[in-house]
Amino acid sequence: MKMHRFEEIWLILGVGILVLSMVVTGYQTFAMEMGPPSNTETIDPQKVDETAPFDNPGVFKTGENEYEVVMTLQIFSFTPDKIEVPTGSEVTFTMTSKDVIHGFQIAGTNVNAMVVPGHIQKITETFDEPGEYLVLCNEYCGAGHQMMATTVTVK
């Protein structure tokens, strides 16, 4: 009789945890926009240099406190190389790869994206804390993968 009761409790607990994790994941995905990128903007990876906006990579002011960084990733670098924005800026990174799959991770933030050739990846982050943020490629992309890094300077 006692075992039966425990089984019941564990079953309820198990189902409860499952439902809770589904609710949390759903909330993060839809309410906090933390889900995998669902935009399907594509680009010919052979013609990145000729395709707007990637024909002119750089940092662009798009609003009061808003910036857009148009960026290409290629073995083994980020273009533009150094990025500088004022403290408090909301920065949208618009990225694509010119060759293989790269990663785009900004240390000390939640920014962590995969940049796949043929696709345009957009990710937005607000930088409230001044500092030098290390940007790393976190997808193995070849012999120079470890060297693939840059910085975002916020000041």
Give CA–CA dist 89/154, Å, rounded.
8
Nearer Cβ to ligand CUA (43/101): 101
Nearer Cβ to ligand CUA (66/100): 100
In which order are the strands placed within the sheet that holds 149-154? 82-85, 149-154, 131-136, 102-106, 112-115
DSSP single-letter state for residue 26 = H
Q: Using CB under 6 A, which of 120, 139, 150, 152 touches ligand CUA?
A: 139
Q: Are strands 102-106 and 131-136 parallel, antiparallel or unpaired?
A: antiparallel
Shortest Å, Cβ 19 to ligand CUA: 38
Bridge partner list, 68: 60, 92
**How many residues sit close enough to ligand CUA to count as binding (CB under 6 A)?**
8
Q: Which of residues 62-121 bind ligand CUA (CB under 6 A)?
A: 76, 102
Nearer Cβ to ligand CUA (45/66): 45
Binding interface with ligand CUA (CB under 6 A): 76, 102, 137, 139-141, 145, 148
